[in-house]
């Protein structure tokens, strides 16, 4: 199935016509990305849900933060790898490849972030995101302190936790609905 077909296994057609502000947003996506990401198309059956999704996504992934945009994408990939979310691995793996300029890094994070040549800061960040994904109830002060020792502020820790939490949620929705990544992602930045 291609990305021009239904973006998920659910029969939830996009609102037609789209509200003008939503159409403008989609037009910007086409201009900047060359496509409308299927995650947006999947949410476009309900504009309020689409707006909620894009609002939190844009805040977590694009707003000013002590985390770089690449670091946030790295968290997305590691969480998605653990959860085996096909959509997010393909889409955010492409983003890591593009932002880092290193296709190998993108592939390592998709397969097993522990084999990637990461600095102490990135390793601590991804270890925390991984633990949050596999055993969030086991996180304790020592885990947060490891992040502080690696140079993260408490605000940065908040951002790490929120990015990891967001992708744990969206991974589950994407997997449950068989969300399909856009074909374009597969060839980007290789």
Question: pLDDT of 21-54, one tens digit each?
Answer: 999 999 999 999 999 999 999 999 999 999 999 9
Distance of alpha carbon 127 from the chain centroid = 17
Residue 79 has a pLDDT of 98
pLDDT category, 17, cuts 50, 70, 90? very high
Residue 1 has a pLDDT of 41
Domain ranges (residues) in the chain? 20-62, 69-187
Q: Which two tokens stand for residue 137?
A: 């109830």
Q: For the domain 20-62, what is the CATH superfamily, name and number?
A: AhpD-like (1.20.5.810)
pLDDT digits (tens, 9 = 90+) for 92-121: 999 999 999 999 999 999 999 999 999 999
pTM of the model: 0.95
Q: Which two tokens stand for residue 145?
A: 């302190």
Q: Across residues 147-175, what is the average pLDDT?
A: 98
Q: Return the closest-CA partner of residue 84 out of 159, 183, 168.
A: 168
* Mean pLDDT for all residues in the chain: 95
Residue 4 has a pLDDT of 56
pLDDT digits (tens, 9 = 90+) for 50-84: 999 999 999 999 999 999 999 999 999 999 999 99
Phi/psi of residue 84, nearest 5 degrees: 55, 45
Percent of the chain with pLDDT over 70: 98
Q: Which two tokens stand for residue 126?
A: 């991804």
| Sole residue written with tokens 């060359």 | 34
Instruction: Pick one of 2.60.40.60, 1.20.1290.10, 3.40.50.300, 3.40.50.280 as the CATH number of 69-187.
Output: 1.20.1290.10
CB atoms within 10 A of CB 135: 9
| Sole residue written with tokens 């502020």 | 153
DSSP at 35: S
Residue 172 has pLDDT above 50, yes or no: yes
Q: Which two tokens stand for residue 62?
A: 């694009």
Q: Which two tokens stand for residue 174?
A: 């994407």
Q: Return the closest-CA partner of residue 50 out of 62, 37, 61.
A: 37
């Amino acid at each position: 199935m291609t990305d021009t077909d239904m973006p998920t296994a659910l029969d939830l057609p996009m609102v037609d016509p789209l509200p003008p502000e939503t159409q403008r947003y989609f037009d910007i996506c086409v201009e900047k990305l060359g496509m409308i990401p299927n995650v947006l198309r999947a949410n476009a059956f309900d504009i309020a849900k689409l707006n909620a999704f894009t609002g939190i996504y844009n805040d977590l992934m694009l707003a000013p933060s002590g985390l770089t945009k690449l670091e946030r994408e790295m968290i997305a990939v590691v969480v998605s790898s653990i959860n085996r979310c096909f959509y997010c691995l393909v889409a955010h793996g492409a983003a890591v490849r593009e932002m880092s300029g290193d296709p190998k890094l993108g592939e390592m994070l998709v397969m097993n972030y522990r084999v990637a040549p990461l600095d102490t800061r990135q390793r601590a960040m991804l270890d925390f995101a991984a633990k949050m994904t596999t055993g969030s109830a086991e996180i304790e002060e020592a885990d947060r302190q490891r992040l502080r020792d690696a140079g993260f502020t408490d605000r940065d820790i908040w951002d790490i936790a929120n990015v990891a939490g967001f992708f744990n949620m969206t991974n589950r929705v994407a997997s449950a609905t068989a969300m399909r990544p856009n074909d374009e992602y597969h060839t980007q930045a290789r």
